[in-house]
């Protein structure tokens, strides 16, 4: 089987993409980072370029509407011939074309379906987890549909939450697990092990 081509969508620091690229370069993930698309100028643009990746900016705020924005992204994905799209700290809404259904993943810094939805990202998620008094948190890799954080779940990993935690403390612990969960989910996709059955992802042995 040929190695899969990945496109990454970013809006922030790009750490998640760099982690996946490191897994690829180390030979632990049979994939190719074909293109990185940035929704705005951010640290991730420079970091990914410095790591040798092609980065294409598609500025959300410069587009007249969501459909135009979504079409611009889809055109780049088609041109690059990607097999899988990974959202990695991507904060802009884009409408996923039918031909990419089941081929777009996201990672969320909490255990979905809790602490998801519009406005729940980054620091906001960890603050909400602490304010609710949760004893565990974690991360979720899921397929993306056209609703916030509602697609079928692929991988989840847990971390403890301590009474002394700040949002940054919890974020650091969760990110360590994100660096394991996302490559794991991508590897299962690349190996043809994932089947979507309604809202459930079946994983072949």
Residues designated as active site: 108
- Can you tell me which residue has the tokens 């081509």? 5
Note the Cα 15 to chain centre separation in Å.
11
Instruction: Cite the beta strand spans of 89-192 per DSSP E.
Output: 104-108, 136-143, 153-160
Structure tokens at 76: 């780049």
Q: CA distances (Å), 177 to each of 3, 63, 117, 139, 163, in order? A: 24, 35, 21, 7, 20
97: Cβ contacts below 8 Å, ≥ 6 apart: 70, 74
Tell me the pairing of strands 55-57 and 31-38: parallel
């Amino acid at each position: 089987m040929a190695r899969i081509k990945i496109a990454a969508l970013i809006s922030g620091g790009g750490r998640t993409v760099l982690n996946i690229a490191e897994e690829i370069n180390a030979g632990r993930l049979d994939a190719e980072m074909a293109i990185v698309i940035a929704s705005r100028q951010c640290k991730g643009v420079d970091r990914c370029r410095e790591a040798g990746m092609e980065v294409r900016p598609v500025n959300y705020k410069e587009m007249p509407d969501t459909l135009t924005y979504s079409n611009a992204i889809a055109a780049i994905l088609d041109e690059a011939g990607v097999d899988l799209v990974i959202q990695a700290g991507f904060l802009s809404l884009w409408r996923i074309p039918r031909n990419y259904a089941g081929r777009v993943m996201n990672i969320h810094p909490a255990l979905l379906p809790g602490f998801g939805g519009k406005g729940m990202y980054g620091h906001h998620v960890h603050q909400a987890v602490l304010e609710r008094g949760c004893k565990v948190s974690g991360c979720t890799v899921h397929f993306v549909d056209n609703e916030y954080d509602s697609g079928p779940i692929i991988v989840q990993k847990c971390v403890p939450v301590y009474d002394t935690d700040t949002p940054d403390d919890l974020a650091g612990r969760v990110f360590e697990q994100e660096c394991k969960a996302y490559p794991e989910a991508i590897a299962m996709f690349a190996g043809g092990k994932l089947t979507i059955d309604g809202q459930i992802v079946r994983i072949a042995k």
